[in-house]
Amino acid sequence: MTKPLRQWKVLPHGKLTELEDGILTVVGAIDMPLVEFERRMTVVSLADSRLVIFNAIALDEDEMRALEDYGTPTFLVVPNDHHRLDARIWKQRYPALRVVTPEGSKKRVEEIVPVDSTAPDFADPDVEFETVPGTELREAALIVRTSKGTTLILNDIVGNLRNEHGVGGWMLRMMGFAGDEPRIPNPPKLTLINDREALRNQFRLWSEIPSLHRILVSHGEPIENDPAAALRSLAASLA
């Protein structure tokens, strides 16, 4: 596993993109043996222009200025204890950031950065933090409601990498991060998921959100073509 960074280091990444009013995202990459592993940061603007940063990625200065023009970084969500790479350096850059992680990840995250909350109140009824059932209280999700619908932001429990080629692509497909449809990757199945029935029920509950129109994941493409059906299929895979 890549060691958490101690100073601001910009790894390869794209440009911040506004998916809709109040939601930004950017895709980066980490070099791993035989494969370049895609990762995603999502930024959510609260009602008063405070920002929630989900799965932080250090960006170049032009993109960081664009983010700061969008709002004030206020909450840093470390979505599980495997996603600590940039947590320390973001806290160093923004000392007032409130660090958030699920209760089950708190101990390991605090090896890197102090945790302020495991159950944050964003003071915005349209943005909710959830600890995902069935993951040993280690995995976080966000539910974000806008005028266009509801976006569900997930981390490692769903992978949706596409167009992966060569030996690296084969490895990612074997690991369950890549394929022709969203999947539950094998590493979370083995190390993160401790109650399949609880997670299956959660997938079903999310699929019933009437306004659901998008799922964002930390490793892969947005799921925008019938996300409710994708969640039902993921639930069925846990049977």
Q: What CATH number did the domain enclosing 78 receive? A: 3.60.15.10
Lowest-confidence pick of 89-93, 166-170, 194-198: 166-170
| Residue 1 within any structural domain of the chain | no
Of 99, 98, 82, nearest in space to 138 by CA: 82
Angle of helix 196-207 relative to helix 227-237, nearest 10 degrees?
160
Q: Are 59 and 13 in contact (CB under 8 A)?
A: yes
Q: Are 157 and 133 in contact (CB under 8 A)?
A: no
> Domain containing 87: what range?
17-237
This prediction's pTM: 0.94
| Residue 60 within any structural domain of the chain | yes
What is the average pLDDT across 73-88? 97
What is the average pLDDT across 208-228? 96
| Residue 7 within any structural domain of the chain | no
| Residue 12 within any structural domain of the chain | no
| Residue 126 within any structural domain of the chain | yes
Span 6-19, pLDDT tens digits: 999 999 999 999 99
| Residue 8 within any structural domain of the chain | no
| Residue 83 within any structural domain of the chain | yes
Phi and psi torsions of 142, nearest 5° = -125, 145
- Check whether 168 has a pLDDT greater than 70: no
Span 38-63, pLDDT tens digits: 899 999 999 899 999 999 999 999 99
| Residue 121 within any structural domain of the chain | yes
Distances (CA, A) of 76 to 91, 135, 161: 8, 20, 24
Number of domains in the chain: 1
